[in-house]
Structure 1
Amino acid sequence: MASPASSTLAHFCRLTGHTSVRSVAVKRPPATAALPARRWYISRSTGNTAGIQFRLDERTAHSSLDLFKKDTGVIYRMLGLDPTRVQDNPERFRDWAVVFGSQEITGGRHYWEVTVERSQEFRLGVAEAQMARDDCVGTNATSWVFGYAQRKWSAMTGNKMVPVRLVGKPERVGVLLDYEAGLLALVDTERRTIVHSIRGRFRGPLCPAFGLWDGELLTHSGLEEPQSLV
């Protein structure tokens, strides 16, 4: 049973988006800078119209994250496992509740969906496969994500953030990646339309990326891109 002091610290860590309770000094991400709101249109590039098939990669999962449903889902545990009891490897995220998808992307267009109805704080998108494991997705120039927190959506990259409006809280959202065009899009799965896109400069292998600080996410990969987005 956790002591009152550890429970208080864990609660503080959760509010800051940090899951490690190994020390009193809580690492916080640098303050995000606001960007002018933008919308980008997906251009057609050569490549697959079917999304990659992937599972979540346990080797990368932070110790506060548990995988389930044959590694297609992830659930957040506030205290998580004792980091000393988790297999140590250079692929694992050490400070932030992040996990990568198991497949690397080096080109083409790919589409997948994520059931988000059981979480109130998460990030989803892509990151460079070699992204530093002591960073959080959305806070550096090697990750591009859409985040949901405090009932608001944001597009995040390079520690900069732009609000994404008129989305609400759907049960499920889509992610469309066009590697050659340098675009990542958040998709309304009911209307089959692009809600918002992020422009990026992709220079190496990317992985689907997920951050989670509440509840659970379930991924759905290997899907064909909706015809309305072509």
Structure 2
Amino acid sequence: MNTCRTLLPLAVDENLQFRLDERSAHSSLDLFKKDTGIIYRMLGLDPTQVQDNPERFREWAVVLGDARIDSGRHYWEVTVKKSQEFRVGVAEALMCRDECVGTSSSSWVFGFAQRKWFAMTKGKVVPVTLVGKPDRVGILLDYEAGLLALVDTEKPRIIHALNAQFTSPLCPAFGLWDGELLTHSGLEEPEGLK
């Protein structure tokens, strides 16, 4: 049996709405606020006490959103003010659950660690110049254009963009190593980004 494959429902709404998928959540992550937020627990649950599920991330504190995206332009935001180490972006729905988001060719993320922003895919880290750390950031995905962008929600403007050729369905993806993140979906794309 291949434990690196999973299927999630297709996103059908114009403004992408999703919740975090408990089935994919690493044992050190707890979901809250009707599965729109995640909290990192240093010790977490004993992996033997968590329901065995081939969709669950085993090695890394990662969780995916429950929407599967295979077309269109989508926007969501993440409140990041209560974390100092995280990754936000997208991953292929069939991403291997033994990998971390950003380390393989099946995920594209923006991260924050050691008080610095970076973009990451295939394990390659590119510094992102950003003054300070906002309380909330936006993620813009244009599937056909092969664009994933980190958005300043206050201006709004694109801070940094990753270009890729997306060839299979994607899910919102989150890695968390301290504090908490809160997702906000079903949002209109801000004017000025189009």
**TM-score, reference length from structure 2:** 0.92
Correspondence 1:55 to 2:22: no
Question: Equivalent of 1:219, from 167, 183, 190?
Answer: 183
Aligned-residue Cα RMSD (Å) equals: 1.2
Partner of 2:128: 164
Q: Which amino acid aligns with 2:58?
A: R
Secondary structure of the corresponding residue to residue 133 of structure 2: coil
Question: Equivalent of 2:82, from 118, 122, 125?
Answer: 118
Alignment of structure 1 residues 69-218 onto 2, 5 Å: 69-218=33-182
- In the TM superposition, what is the alpha-carbon distance from 1:200 to its structure 2 partner? 1.0
Give the distance between the partners of 2:33 and 2:22, measured in 1 at CA: 13
Give the distance between the partners of 1:69 and 1:118, measured in 2 at CA: 15
- In the TM superposition, what is the alpha-carbon distance from 1:207 to its structure 2 partner? 0.2
Give the distance between the partners of 1:144 and 1:202, measured in 2 at CA: 10
Give the distance between the partners of 2:125 and 2:166, measured in 1 at CA: 19
Greater helix share, 1 or 2?
Answer: 1
**TM-score, reference length from structure 1:** 0.78
Partner of 2:9: none
After TM superposition, the runs of 4+ consecutive aligned structure 1 residues lying more than 4 A away are: none
Give the distance between the partners of 1:101 and 1:51, measured in 2 at CA: 14
Q: How many residues align?
A: 183
Partner of 2:5: none
Secondary structure of the corresponding residue to residue 59 of structure 1: helix
Secondary structure of the corresponding residue to residue 192 of structure 2: helix
Unpaired runs of at least 5, structure 1: 1-47
Q: Which amino acid aligns with 1:109?
A: R
- In the TM superposition, what is the alpha-carbon distance from 1:201 to its structure 2 partner? 1.3
- In the TM superposition, what is the alpha-carbon distance from 1:227 to its structure 2 partner? 1.3
1:172-229 CA distance string (max 9 Å, x none): 0000000000010000000000000001111110000000000000000000101110
